[in-house]
Structure 1
Amino acid sequence: MAAAVLLLSLVALASGLELVSKFHSPQVTNNFALSAGEGLLYLAAVNRIYQLNWELRPELEDVTGPVPDSPLCHAPQLRETTCDFPRTSTPNYNKILLPDPEQGLLLTCGSIFQGLCELRALRNITLRAVPFPVDNAVPSMLNVAANHPNASTVGLLLRGPSGDTKLLVGATYTGYSSQFFPWNQSIADHRFENSPEISIRALNLTASEKLFTFDISPSDDNIFKVKQSFKARHRLGFVRAFQQGPFAYLAMNVEPAPAGKENRPSSVLARICLKSEPRTEPRKLTESYIQLGLRCEGPGGVLYGRLLSVFAESENIFGIFEGKNEAALCMFPLRSVAQEIRGARRGCFESQDAGEVTVLDSVVQGTGPSCERRNAKVKLQEEQLDCGAAHLQHPLAITRPLPAVPIYKEKGLTSVAVANVSGYMVVFLGNVSGHLIKINLDADMKIINKSMQYLEIASGQPVHHVMEFDPMDPTYLFVMTSHQMTRVKVAECAKYRSCTECLAAADAYCGWCTLEGRCSLQKECQGSEDSAFWMSPNVGQENMCPAMNSIPNKIDISSSTQRIILQITGKLPILYQMNVSCDYGNNIITPAVIDPDQDSGQLLHCSFLPRDQFPSFPPNQDYVTVSMALSVGGNSIIQHKFIIYDCNRTQNMHPKNACTSCVKSRWPCSWCVSQHRCVSSASQCDTIAQNSTESCPRITATSLTPTPTGVTKDYTLSLLNTNITEGPKLECDFGTEQTFPAKWLNSSAVVCSNVLLYTSERTQSFPINLQLSDHKGLYLDNPSMLSVEVYNCASQTPDCSSCLGRADLGHHCSWSESSMSCRLNSEILSISYPYTCPAPDIRKIDPASGPLLGGTLVTIQGRNLGSRFSDINGRVKIGEIECTPIQEKYIVSEEIVCMTGESPKLLTDWVSVDVNGGGRSKEKYSFQVPEVDYLSPDFGPWAGGTRVTISGTNLNIGRDVRVLFNKTQECRDLVRTQSTIQCTVPPMKFLPETKVHICVQFEKKSCVKEELFFKYQENPVIKSMDPRSSPLSGGRIITVTGERFDMVQSIMMGIEKKKK
């Protein structure tokens, strides 16, 4: 019911990240892969595969589905097979997409035909590299990928030392007893025998008859297949396969059994050894297979169990783990993984009861159900600890997971990619709403807070769990969402305009290119291998930014400065023998001379600007700034500013305090008393120049009584630091066109004679200054800004009380009954003392009502309401209830503001002021009781903004009314009538869904009603918007869906256009 504003962003911008190019897929995307040598990107979507160039412009497209298919049927490519089940139109979801540049092929495997793979030409995806399957193919050669859209598959190409190529595949089991298997009476299952969860398959095009076979005889040694009895409670969901050094890794989740006690998945990292030395035969998969859990756990035992995305850099593995309410980023060092694996193999070899490791008896291909104690004198070799051996127990599982603490947590994280840049770990995170987040981690894996940056990739489209850096230029990142492929530049260094700004941003990609004077990527800066040429953004490095000091730095305009010395500080290459110059702008460039005898080579000399090329001084300013850039090879590398100052302009800017302003100036100026001039050097003065304000000739503070208008008067002024014999001729300047003579009384006083000043105002202040008679515009200092008050009794004095009240101001005024006006005392022939003014005339009271408890400020307006505060203090009442006047709000004769006292009962009576016989108001004031009945509506969002109405009676009485929520927050924009109060509910942060008390408070007294409540609820949320685009001419109807819209009272929708 609160007002809602919907801002629809058309183009997303972010600091430090730039969306360079994108490709939109009408179909839901599945996978993407890069082939750097060809400069091609392959994008696989449902029923489509695209070949894009590096800028994501489409080159080729091929249709991959839908096709007639059934998960209960063998692939139709198998000869002499039949199927008794109907084949229906089935979409093809890509499961594996792997380019193999050495063989010139692109491997694509889909969910149709039991996970069949195709071998496409690398440069033309519409062509086949080789025909497949071969005539004598068997089901196991075709059943490669998972055959269900929601079942996971990962693949990794393995290149052997002899050049042979293999394919490592991890595929979720989709056969009988799995959640993916369609129920049927005949139990036709082609997956169990032909589709192991993990396998290594042949992929040499030169031996096409062996393509996708398990390659080793016996083949069971090159597969990892869970026993049928364990399938239900050992369900593997694969996340990613990757190679790091001589090892292949499989990141996966072990899903809990549907009816089991454990309801959380566990994250697992499996490692397979790819080394073949010193053996000649290929290594068997299960022989080296070992797995360990990855446990991402926050404070308080908060567990993030499901692995969503994983990325490996040279030393660490980063993963996104999903928890109950949010996802977390955790990091696992590869050296810790290696240590755990070595310790586990050693333990299984040395002890039959190795508590930290067990043999996987759930796998068909294993040596036995437990570890076996061997000869204690035999020690395992390094290779055996890393890769196992045929005579050692296998495959193994480490029972204790490797722990890690979350580095970063946020709702909806889906993807991670990491780069090691300039000593930082730069982490890129994708989320469900289509945004990319960039954070920098220091050496301790702590987030550098100021480095976080955001970019909208595709609003509302989840980011795919795999992101890849451009292998030819790692400063670009390829990001895929559900319908879009995007190329993102990971840093916008040029937006940082200074060295300090560049390094303080703590963006690991950006450093300061010293000899080019710009923030750049390291590869963009010439000579960047040397830290003096390119400064990396290490913490505290901004203190080493190139800078320079000049001698002199402040230059007197009257000096004859011809050369300046520049001292270079900060990190910078040696400038000696480089083309260095000083650039003053406007094509004024002078060569810099570098002293070769300087060890650092960083002390320079430059010619200064000629006098006729000084810039003009701005108005009312005694200095001008000259900008200069130190240039190397035509590039400005350091900016510097000089100050040219003018002491004479300092004096002219402050003529009434010239001496004080001169000696207090930030420039080295002195005051020459004899010449009454501000000089930049003592040599310019014929006497001793003064440098202290205490020595300045000046007028001292003098008390001057108010003077009636049109009356001639003499004013005596006290002086300091003057001499009657040497003092200048002076005249008195009152700010009018006329000046008056000043006569010296003694060495410290002058008198302004026969001064006649006029004013038509009630009172007017005239400044008094002493001007040098022979030098118009030059004055003695007047630091106290001495002035004289001139008053006019007749002006703005409408009644007797206001006239007599002026006596307290030193005004000699009296009330003339004959003329009914205020006159100067001397103008009235006869005055009888004490003179009594007429009784008060009360013309208006406001407000006319208030609460019984009092506290209401009542304003009383009229005439003759006392001549001074003492006249009315304690003399204002409402009936018999006292109303206390407030002195600072009292206006003589015209207005009284008083605070009502408490009334014991309902009362309506006149307001009286007991002065000069007393006066009474024409209208009565009422003491009343306000009452509150109910509130509507009584609920709204946390964000506030709900317009509520409080109903009752007498709600318009008094002056100050407040509506407080939860005793702290005030209801805004309050409007009230006799029966209602309307106001806007304030926001309430971090408050659970509960009722808060509302206090209606009159004159800051107690609450009117205790049982009045408002319930804060969760804010309305927008879930979707359709359509998401419109022609520039507009006219589209946009439908927005969401939750809790019943709280919205009014809706405004705006389209916010942002520039790229």
Structure 2
Amino acid sequence: MLLLLLCACAGRCEDSPPKYETATPINNVVQDPRTGRIYLGAVNAIYQLDSALQFQHKAMTGPKLDSRHCTPPIPPTCQDAKQTDSINKLLLVHETNGSLVVCGTLFKGLCSLVNLSNIENQVYYSDGKGEKTYVASIEESVSVVGVMSTFPEKDDNTPVFLVAKGYGSQDSAKLISTRILQDYKDLVVFENIAEASSVQANPFVLKYLHNFRLAFREGSFVYFVFSRTMGSTDNKNFTFISRLCEKDIHYYSYTELQLNCGPENTYNKVQTAYLASPGKKLAQHLTRSSKYGKVEPWDKVLFAVFSDDEDSVSSALCMYPLKAINKALEDLIGACYGTQGKINSQMAVYPPYISVTGFCSTTQPELAAKNPCGADFLTSPLASTPEFALKAPAVHEKKGLLTAVAVAVENDHTVAFLGTSKGEVYRVHLSNTSAAYGSVLGESTGSSVNKNLFFDTSQNYLYITTAQKITKLPVQECHLKTTCEACMKQNDPYCGWCVLEGKCSTMSDCKGANVTNGWLWSPDQQCVEIKSFVPPNMSSRKTQQVEISVPSLPVIEDGRLQCKFGSFSESNAVMERSMITCALPEPAQIPPTPDKQDYVEVPVKIFVDGKVEVAAGTYNFYNCRAAMRKAENTPCMSCVSSNWGCQWNIHNHTCSDNDRSIDGAHIVKPQQGASCPLFEDQVPSLIPVGYKTPIRFKGKNLDGYKDKKLKIGTELMKHTEEPVVSEGGSQFRFDGYEFAYDKDQTVDVFFYVKDKDTDKKIDSTLNVTLYNCSLGREDCSLCKNADPKYQCVWCDRTQSCVYLPPAQLPHLASTYSFCYIVKLKQCQVSPRYGPLRGGILVTIKGSNLGIRKQDITRITVAGVPCVHQLDRYSVSTSVVCEAGPVDPAKPHSGVVEVVVEGDKKGTSIVSFTYRDPKPEKVQPDKGPKAGGTVITISGTNLDTATKEDLNITTFGSEITCKVGEYRPVKVPSDPLPVMVKYGKHTGMEVPRAFQFHENPKVERHFPDSSFVCGGRVIVVTGTGFDLIQKASMRVLHSATEDCPNLPNHIEPLQDAFSKNDTVLQFLSPAVNGSSQIHCLRAYIFLDNVRNELRPFNYHSDPIFDELTKKVITESSIISVTGKGFSKAMTAPEAKAFVGDVECQVTTLQDDRLFLDPPSTQPKARSKRQRRDTSSDLLELLIKFGNGEWVVGSVHYERKYEVPLPIIIPCVVIPMLLIIAISVYCYRRKSQQAEREYEKVKHQLENLEESVRDRCKKEFT
């Protein structure tokens, strides 16, 4: 198990970017340019990683016993000394002696030197040298920057570093200092070697609030980028860059230049900056702007990100060529030497930190050239006045806060990588119109990207640091795009389409990139395309060669090109200039023409070396035979009007390819549809259902059908066809059909005409409208409202609307009705109750209620006039009126009457009653001031009027409605009355019924992430939740600059499943994983109160690998691999099932998790497991919230269990046999031993007898 855990710690997904996470927040990051090693300065620790972010060494820097009030080393007598965290303030690579400068907040800001090869080996540290060696700040919020330099001493350069830091209440007052890195004369390591009171004195540091963001060395100068105030009371920040001569130990040359970003210095506070070369294209753009003079590709440009000073809701990127900065600084110094600080008669220079008169009083211009690094008579720093700030336009703007910038040049184009306060990094192509492109790098973690954003030594990877993690990501992902279109869509300056290799790559990774059109740059948005074909199309009955124009194809040698049509024809191709000649497929190979089409599209692909597709398109093979079928009733016109130049043969009724050799009156040539035989101009054009109506029509161009018998038909009558009768000349008729149709009031009927002998269709545009009077006209008024052209009338006998033939008009009065009877439908008066003061709308439904709104002459309810609402009238079926007030002394109940023009009256069966409602009680009686509380009002007669009259949620014996927002300041409010309004004039009040309280407050939430599958338990804590009736978690799409609106976006929502006054619990809603998940924002809705959960991030669902170890043994653990596990899940939350038995997830890492399977094999399988699978196999299911993944099937190791009756004989019998054999062997051995004993005994006796006899003989 230990071995598995070790393997898990070392395991990585192949496509997972290198990253390293620290236990504490990261403050600073630096890279050793020689080795590529990365050093992280974090709280209480320094980390050493290799270039792949593999851990090498770690040095602890805290916590240690320290006190702000005691001088290090901290003595035992220091009373307020306590264990204090060490926050890293500065990391610098000291290449000369292979050490790393490390400065932190402990011990007054002391520094140390550690070995670059192994930071655990300390090169130098001393805490007993006193205040002169205090370098950094003890306060976390104070910014500190530094840069390596040298101090010229005779013929030797002594290594030093310059440090700039803001104000700290208990720090040294040195704004800028030069610290030595080796003992020198009387100076010790880290002691300040330069004394310059102008920037190392007390009075100014607190007043100006310096915030240093970058220090760098270029040429013979050292630069610092920072923001500060002007020392006035408004505390508005301005951005400056200051410059020092590297050899100026007295800081005489210290000069500040104000940098303005955006119009009117909109973005006034610098966040960070990056120095890089602009590249050829951007240099040309800067030169053309004529603001900075000529800028060369190898010059240096300062790329800085700024924010507005107020609330940092917007940011921008601005660029300043270093040449322009230096020129502006030299102009300031020259003005001070030669023109009393003025440029063009306007004051350009002032002393920023002191108030003196006669400053810059000299008029000796030559001094500037003689003393480029100042002189001792310039005793104070210089600064530009606001009017002479160096101004730059915002080349890129963004809502939100930018916190990091890094710039790289690829193929003469410049790309800026911008980090945000949300933990994302995106890319901007800097050009004439700078724009962001591609996907977002990094993760939206909610923590800012560290300002130390930089590339690896190859410039191919970017190191992104957030709160406790550093990640190494490629600057481009060209290879992930597999088509030219996808490659172009990126707009990535790094990428292009490698034509002859058929891949998206960088230029350096494309072998044919040096050939014209061999590598197509992504921002150009141009793939290799087939521009045209010669001929543009071909008959499916012919074949020949085709010339294909491909302008953007590189020159390719003969023998390497092939053309492929579909999957059925392939041939070699020849290229001449940009034209490729290929052989078309044989007619037999061409696919059949699809239905409803007269051509077939065949894919055309051009290959290099038979495997790399370089261009694709479609070629059309047309079929004139199919062209005549596109419009079945007009085959001739369909044929000759097609795009393919087809001709029509009247004699044989065929459509064929245009053939100039065939001519005659029976041939209709292409685009001559007016010469086609045609039947048209039918009379009448309206036909009623159920009546056989003769139809007359005309014919033209019918010379080819003289003496032919014709017939007519329509699809509506299926196979019933009628003869066509010629009336002479161009006039024809047929007797018509008696149609039956009841699906719609009207329908268009198209007729075809055929040659009776050949059954071939002749072109016909005959079309009539069939109509049904009875459909949708159920009463007399609706019938009378029909369009007069239909000749519909109401029949009293059949009580239906019917068509009346003109011949029956004289009998109209005796048979057909003029709609005398007005009928009101039973129970169709709504509402049936109204307040005594009226003012409510009453809807009355019936029939024959007129055909115009003006037909309604009078309406009464319970004998009270009711005002007709003309705008809500529906023909014949419905009227709406506003009830008037009733005299309390008169009867309050009665029928509803409607009088229609002609004094025709209808009376309702049901009654309308006047009564006043009496609301009495309100529940609940309190809610938040934001409103949204749904209250229920109970009482007597509350179901008076209608729901619309009250504008409420639920209407009946109890009334339900939602409370609005309470705007007065006093909270909680006094008990307030609840007013129920019925219509315009009636309001009933419940006194002291409801009280508003403070809105609920959300204080914190955890966890702060979820997978897109949702289902993770989110706990929200706060106060006042008992007031809330409905708490829900909703996910909205943030419509920002980089998150455009999504059409038809559904807002996922989950209601709280647990609630009390201080804690809410939700299951995170599932969201669409294909949408832009970095644009999703999570909100808690508490009735009308809305709170955004910050931070809260959605992550793509994890990916699980197929399970490799599938056998479960005793005491074994299961290891599941994949990636993205820990982004939004922990081991206690994760669930795993073997079969239907849950097992514990013991360890969860980002790319691996471990779980303990059940000790015995589960008897039941998973419900989703198929019954036809092996009974021994059990599904292993991993569940993260709503997401479920079956990662494989497992089975338990077989154990052969023998029944006890078999075990006993199998054990006892061999045991008895062994004992018997042992006894037998023992008896054999014992008998043999006795025989041997007797034998020896006899031998001894014989020997004894022999010796005795010998002795006797010798003695005698």
Aligned mates of 1:362, 1:292 — CA distance in 2 = 17
The answer to whether the 8 A contact 2:668-2:675 is kept is no
Match of 2:1245 in 1: none
The match for 1:661 among 638, 662, 665 is 638
Match of 1:169 in 2: 162
Match of 1:335 in 2: 323
Shift of 1:910: 1.8
Q: Within 5 Å, give how 1:648-1047 maps onto structure 2.
A: 648-683=625-660, 687-690=666-669, 691-704=671-684, 715-723=695-703, 726=706, 728-734=708-714, 735-752=717-734, 767-776=750-759, 778-786=760-768, 809-810=790-791, 833-835=813-815, 839-844=821-826, 846-849=828-831, 858=843, 860-862=845-847, 865=848, 869=851, 873=855, 877-878=859-860, 890=875, 895-898=876-879, 900=881, 909-912=896-899, 919-924=906-911, 957=945, 982=961, 1024-1028=1004-1008, 1037-1040=1017-1020
Letter of the structure 2 residue corresponding to residue 834 of structure 1? S
The answer to whether the 8 A contact 2:464-2:471 is kept is yes
- Does residue 408 (structure 1) correspond to residue 397 (structure 2)? The answer is yes
The answer to whether the 8 A contact 1:718-1:748 is kept is yes
- Does residue 644 (structure 1) correspond to residue 635 (structure 2)? The answer is no
Match of 1:315 in 2: 301
| Secondary structure class of the residue paired with 1:746 | coil
Aligned mates of 1:950, 1:332 — CA distance in 2 = 69
Cα deviation code 1:281-340 (max 9, x no counterpart): x553624432233345754x76x5543322223223413245112253344332332122
Match of 2:244 in 1: 272
| Secondary structure class of the residue paired with 1:459 | coil
Cα deviation code 1:698-742 (max 9, x no counterpart): 332323488898887754443233238537432222433332333
Tell which structure's C-alpha radius of gyration is larger. Answer: 2
Letter of the structure 1 residue corresponding to residue 57 of structure 2? L
Cα deviation code 1:795-829 (max 9, x no counterpart): 99999999999998457996658x9999999999x
Aligned mates of 1:812, 1:775 — CA distance in 2 = 45
CA pair 453-1048 structure 1, distance change in 2 beyond 3 A: farther
Match of 1:263 in 2: 235
Aligned mates of 1:416, 1:561 — CA distance in 2 = 61
**Matched pairs, number:** 951
Match of 2:100 in 1: 106
Letter of the structure 2 residue corresponding to residue 922 of structure 1? I
Match of 2:333 in 1: 345
Shift of 1:626: 1.8
Match of 1:247 in 2: 221
Aligned mates of 2:331, 2:689 — CA distance in 1 = 105
| Secondary structure class of the residue paired with 2:628 | helix
CA pair 884-927 structure 1, distance change in 2 beyond 3 A: farther
The answer to whether the 8 A contact 1:849-1:928 is kept is no
Aligned mates of 2:917, 2:147 — CA distance in 1 = 79
Shift of 1:27: 0.5
Q: Matched residues, percent identical? A: 21
The match for 1:286 among 239, 247, 251 is 251
Match of 1:278 in 2: none
Cα deviation code 1:389-411 (max 9, x no counterpart): 55663563224242445552534
Cα deviation code 1:626-649 (max 9, x no counterpart): 222333454323222212222222
Aligned mates of 1:553, 1:985 — CA distance in 2 = 68
Match of 1:562 in 2: 544
Aligned mates of 2:600, 2:253 — CA distance in 1 = 77
Aligned mates of 1:871, 1:945 — CA distance in 2 = 41
Letter of the structure 1 residue corresponding to residue 1100 of structure 2? K
Match of 1:434 in 2: 423
Shift of 1:47: 1.0
Aligned mates of 1:1025, 1:919 — CA distance in 2 = 66
Shift of 1:156: 1.6
CA pair 610-23 structure 1, distance change in 2 beyond 3 A: farther
Match of 2:1069 in 1: 1054
The answer to whether the 8 A contact 1:154-1:171 is kept is yes
| Secondary structure class of the residue paired with 1:569 | coil
Aligned mates of 1:832, 1:1035 — CA distance in 2 = 73
Q: Within 5 Å, give how 1:539-554 maps onto structure 2.
A: 541-542=524-525, 546-554=529-537
The answer to whether the 8 A contact 1:675-1:685 is kept is no
Structure 1 unaligned regions, length at least 5: 1-17, 182-190, 275-281, 596-600, 964-972, 987-998
Aligned mates of 1:308, 1:823 — CA distance in 2 = 84
- Bigger drift between 241-250 and 423-432 goes to 423-432
| Secondary structure class of the residue paired with 2:385 | strand
Shift of 1:478: 1.8
Shift of 1:245: 3.8
The match for 2:606 among 618, 630, 641 is 630
Match of 1:180 in 2: 170
Cα deviation code 1:1029-1052 (max 9, x no counterpart): 689999975333689988884313
The answer to whether the 8 A contact 1:500-1:545 is kept is no
Q: Within 5 Å, give how 1:62-461 maps onto structure 2.
A: 62-76=59-73, 87-101=81-95, 103-128=97-122, 130-132=123-125, 138-139=129-130, 142-158=133-149, 166-172=159-165, 178-180=168-170, 191=172, 196-203=174-181, 212=189, 219-220=193-194, 226-233=200-207, 236-254=210-228, 261=233, 263-274=235-246, 284=249, 286-296=251-261, 299=264, 305-313=268-276, 314-326=300-312, 327-329=314-316, 330-351=318-339, 355-358=347-350, 370-371=359-360, 373=362, 375=364, 378=366, 380-381=368-369, 387-390=372-375, 393=378, 396-401=381-386, 402-404=389-391, 406=394, 408=397, 410-420=399-409, 426-443=415-432, 447-448=434-435, 451=437, 454=440, 457-461=443-447
Shift of 1:261: 3.3
Aligned mates of 1:945, 1:516 — CA distance in 2 = 63
Letter of the structure 1 residue corresponding to residue 417 of structure 2? F
Aligned mates of 2:306, 2:509 — CA distance in 1 = 33
Letter of the structure 1 residue corresponding to residue 221 of structure 2? F
Cα deviation code 1:875-931 (max 9, x no counterpart): 7754776869999954xxxx5334548968789632345779754332356899999
Aligned mates of 1:606, 1:357 — CA distance in 2 = 75
The answer to whether the 8 A contact 2:31-2:39 is kept is yes
The answer to whether the 8 A contact 2:858-2:900 is kept is yes
Q: Pairwise CA RMSD of aligned residues? A: 5.6
Letter of the structure 1 residue corresponding to residue 676 of structure 2? C
The answer to whether the 8 A contact 2:831-2:842 is kept is no
CA pair 827-552 structure 1, distance change in 2 beyond 3 A: closer
CA pair 1047-342 structure 1, distance change in 2 beyond 3 A: farther
- Does residue 579 (structure 1) correspond to residue 564 (structure 2)? The answer is no
Aligned mates of 1:20, 1:958 — CA distance in 2 = 64
Shift of 1:761: 8.6
The answer to whether the 8 A contact 2:562-2:606 is kept is yes
Letter of the structure 1 residue corresponding to residue 531 of structure 2? M
Structure 2 unaligned regions, length at least 5: 1-14, 277-299, 888-893, 966-978, 990-995, 1033-1053, 1055-1067, 1072-1098, 1103-1260
Q: Within 5 Å, give how 1:455-470 maps onto structure 2.
A: 457-470=443-456
Match of 1:23 in 2: 20
CA pair 529-718 structure 1, distance change in 2 beyond 3 A: same
Aligned mates of 1:50, 1:173 — CA distance in 2 = 26
Aligned mates of 2:776, 2:1012 — CA distance in 1 = 63
Aligned mates of 2:658, 2:985 — CA distance in 1 = 72
CA pair 201-553 structure 1, distance change in 2 beyond 3 A: same
Shift of 1:451: 4.1
Letter of the structure 2 residue corresponding to residue 268 of structure 1? F
Aligned mates of 2:792, 2:1014 — CA distance in 1 = 72
CA pair 349-51 structure 1, distance change in 2 beyond 3 A: same
CA pair 98-772 structure 1, distance change in 2 beyond 3 A: farther
- Bigger drift between 160-169 and 680-689 goes to 160-169
The answer to whether the 8 A contact 1:433-1:461 is kept is yes
Aligned mates of 2:985, 2:475 — CA distance in 1 = 58
Please, what TM-score do these two structures have when normalized by structure 2?
A: 0.64
